[in-house]
Structure 1
Amino acid sequence: MAFYDFAKGVVKVIFKPLYRVEVIGLEHFPKEGGVLLCSNHISNLDPPTVGMSAPRPVHFMAKAELFQKGATKKLMNAINAFPVKRGMSDREALRNGLKLLKEDKVVGLFPEGTRSLTGELGKGLAGAGFFALRSNAHILPCAVIGPYKPFKKQKIVFGKPIDFTEIRKNKTPADVATEVIMSEIQKLLDEHSR
Structure 2
Amino acid sequence: MFYRFIRVVARFLIFIINGNTHYENKAALPKGPYVLVGPHRTWWDPIFFAVAGSPRRYGFMAKEELFHNPILRWILVHANAFGVNRANPGPSVIKTPVKMIKNQDLSIIVFPSGTRYSNQLKGGAILIAKLARVPLVPAVYQGPVRFSQLFLRKRVTVRFGEPIAVPGGRLTEDQTQAIGDQMQAAFDAIDHAIDPNFTYVPDQKKYELEKKAGKLK
TM-score when normalising by structure 1: 0.87
- Counterpart of 2:189 in structure 1 is 187
Can you give the 5+ residue segments of structure 2 that lack an aligned partner in the other structure? Answer: 197-217
Aligned CA RMSD, in angstroms, stands at: 2.0
C-alpha distance in structure 2 between counterparts of 1:186 and 1:82, whole Å: 29
Give the paired residue count: 186
User: How far does the alpha carbon of each residue in 1:47-76 deviate from its partner, in whole angstroms, 9 at most, with x for none?
Assistant: 211111112111011111111220111111
Q: Which residue of 1 aligns with 2:17?
A: 18
Correspondence 1:21-32 to 2 at 5 A = 21-32=21-32
Cα distance in 2 between the residues matched to 1:172 and 1:102:
24
- Counting only pairs closer than 5 Å after superposition, residues 1-194 of structure 1 correspond to structure 2 as 2-19=1-18, 20-32=20-32, 34-55=33-54, 56-103=56-103, 104-116=105-117, 122-147=119-144, 149=149, 150=151, 151-165=153-167, 168=168, 171-173=171-173, 175-176=176-177, 177-194=179-196
Q: Is the 8 A contact 1:128 1:178 kept in 2?
A: no
- For 2:72 and 2:49, the matched residues in 1 are separated by 20
Judging changes above 3 Å, is the alpha-carbon distance between structure 1 residues 170 and 94 closer, same or farther for their aligned structure 2 residues?
closer
Quote the Cα distance in structure 2 between the aligned partners of 1:91 and 1:158: 29
Give the whole-Å Cα distance in 2 for the aligned partners of 1:17 and 1:26.
23
TM-score by length of structure 2 reads 0.78
Rg larger for: 2
1:98-123 alpha-carbon deviations (Å, 9 max, x no partner): 1122233201111111113xxxx711
Structure 1 residue matching 2:108: 3-state secondary structure: strand
Task: Check whether the contact 2:24–2:157 (CA below 8 A) recurs between aligned residues.
Answer: yes
Identity of aligned residues (%): 23
Aligned amino acid, residue 10 of structure 2: V
Contact 2:126 2:166 in 1 (8 A): no
Distance 1:181 1:87, change over 3 A: farther
Whichever residue aligns with residue 5 of structure 2, its letter is: F
Contact 1:125 1:175 in 2 (8 A): no
- Structure 1 unmatched ranges of 5 or more: none
